[in-house]
Amino acid sequence: MGEAIATGCIDLRQHLLGAVAGIADALAAQCDAEDAQGYLSRTSHNLLYDAGILAMKTPRELGGHEADLVTQFEVLEAITRVNPAAAWCAMVGTTSLGLPGAFLPEAGMRRMFAGERLPRGAILIMPSARAVPVDGGFSLTGRWSFASGVQHAEWIAAHALVGDGRAPPLLHMLVFPAGEASLHDNWQVLGLRGTGSCDISVEDLFVPAACAWDVAAQPPQRGGPLYRLGIPAFVAYEHAAFATGLARRALDTLTAYAQSKKRGYGPDAQTLADRALVQRLIGRGDLQLRAARALTMELNATAMDTVLRGDAVEPRLALELRGAAVHCTEVACEIVTAAFRQSGAGAIYEKHVMQGCLRDINVAAQHLMVSESAYELLGQSHLGFADINPMA
């Protein structure tokens, strides 16, 4: 599927955005049920899978799209505007295929990507597990948090620290069948409820050496320039896209709501649209959002141009990409909070879109990728500090 699109006359960006438009109403219809049940519905996951969205980051030679960062940004942003939980699970699902697809050794790739269709995956980034080298592979034990979309996964990729206790451990990504993991029913949270981001764990699980790679040492085994971006460039844009999509969802909701909603009593009560404060919020918020979005799009386009030339993403650009994701998240928090405040008492009810936006953006803002520490690191770069880790 991905190969046909990549080599044919169809523009990939238009194809994927058209696919999102085609499933938007069906995704939107799942929001309330997913929020109540605490995980993404199979209906939504199938919609994302069948539309090819989850193949965005997978190498073309494996049947994926290998889409550029700007295209991926626009697609995730568009999904967020109709179903934020589905967008979050799409973020995670695409990466869970993209990284193993590009970096797994050949034998491991053949195991994970066996069959005529792409698998469904989940990925855990925090290395909260330990793996011990054993004959032929590793013995993996640990528990990870935030396994978004894992209820539908067939394979799981998870970071772990590998060592035998005689030397500092090394960060590896290990890939194993989802059925080998225990899922823990602990996703009772403020926002992003529909992502099903529960904990998972394994104990003494054997992972073949071919199903793991040393994150610092392993170069891409397949795929093109996309897989030379490094972290955070490979994932930072996702958080920016989620934030701008959610802020636009809130502004659009307020704009439509303002035409008929009145605040106050009596025949002289004004609609929200008549209030200068709401007018200012919508006008200023639109400009703020477009400015943050434009900066992020520019930086991601620069990152793609860099790797397409065969160059590496320099540390300053990597720091800027992460910082831009933080900025988009902060702008979105401000816009959504203000829009919720001006929407009146009706916005407090669970099925109102605005309170969902408020909960979701505040939970999304807790992610490590959009920690304010990114600003500190970028400032250090401007001040001439050396050897800055963009994910410190």
336 close to 247: Cβ distance less than 8 angstroms:
yes
Q: Percentage of the chain surpassing pLDDT 90? A: 90
Q: Which fold has domain 2-112?
A: Butyryl-Coa Dehydrogenase, subunit A; domain 1 (1.10.540)
229-382 carries CATH number 3.30.70.1900: no
At the second CATH level, the architecture of 121-214 is Beta Barrel (2.40)
Residue 361 reports pLDDT greater than 70? yes
Beta-carbon contacts of residue 108 (< 8 Å; ≥ 6 apart)? 100, 175, 208, 210, 211, 212
Two tokens, residue 239: 């958080």
What digits encode the pLDDT tens for the residues 164-181? 888 899 999 999 999 999
Is the pLDDT at 5 greater than 70, yes or no?
no
DSSP assigned state of 207? E
At 180-191, the pLDDT tens digits run: 999 999 999 999
Strand ranges inside the chain, DSSP E: 121-124, 129-134, 137-144, 155-162, 170-177, 182-184, 199-208, 212-214, 262-263, 270-271
Q: Where are the domains of the chain?
A: 2-112, 121-214, 229-382
What are the tens digits of pLDDT across the range 19-78?
999 999 999 999 999 999 999 999 999 999 999 999 999 999 999 999 999 999 999 999
Task: Find how far residue 218's CA is from the centre of its chain.
Answer: 23
In this prediction, residue 2 carries a pLDDT of 36
Is the previous residue joined to 232 through a cis bond, with omega within 30 degrees of 0? yes
- At 93-142, the pLDDT tens digits run 999 999 999 999 999 999 999 989 999 999 999 999 999 999 999 999 99
State the Cα–Cα distance between residues 37 and 344, nearest whole angstrom: 27
